[in-house]
Amino acid sequence: MPNLRLGSVAPDFTAETTQGTIQFHQWLGDSWAILFSHPDDFTPVCTTELGEVARKSEEFKKRGVKVIGLSANDVASHDKWIADINEVGKTKVEFPIIGDKDRKIATEYDMLDALDPTNVDAKGMPMTVRDVFVIDPKKVIRLKISYPASTGRHFDEILRVVDSLQTGDKYRVTTPVNWQKGDKVIVHPSVQGAEAEKLFPGYETVKPYLRFTKDPSAQA
């Protein structure tokens, strides 16, 4: 099992999905991606989450982000579950969901729950935890978040992180606590002297290591 950390290349795989067979890296292409997993089909928290992702489809597209789900069931089960998700969420799921009945991909991505003895299937096998991976166009993992089975994910926060990562990559800045797009950003420590003045004229120095400037992505 790979020791996946931030900065690791996301493992490639071939899988059956609700939209046919994919080869993951090929499917990613030059896009950002969010891979998010679920322990089982027809579960209450996950049903609400998938509906929310479907409702936010335009927000992901605006950021050049592909989304793909994974659940430890087969595609036939996923297809039936999607009908429930669309009904409950009053939406339409148009992104693929991976069938991972044998938990091969969940194992490769270290998604199995080793801590919660109640999160097991009928055979006593650990279920897939509710993980989120944000993957950039170079296939590098930029964010990992694991959620307990009881707590729904906050996809506005995940979009916020994507905004932060994309802004930082393009403009050599970082983002402070509670940052939202349009708020002030922090000049990256590697940008110093004349280069800082050129890139971020009029930046505000609070401490030598803490310099604020306007969000360049909001002015682009």
**DSSP symbol at 8:** P
- Who's near 64: CB < 8 A, 6+ residues apart? 31, 32
Q: Where are the alpha helices (DSSP H) in 172-208?
A: 193-199
C-alpha distance across the termini of the chain, in Å: 42
Q: Is there a catalytic annotation at residue 182?
A: no
User: What is each CA distance from 72 to 34, 111, 123, 125, 160, in whole angstroms?
Assistant: 18, 11, 13, 11, 28
Distance, in Å, from the CA atom of 174 to the CA atom of 184, rounded to the nearest integer, reads: 10
- Name the token pair of 101: 């009945």
- Choose, from 46, 50, 98, 132, the residue flagged as catalytic: 46
| Active site residue ranges | 46
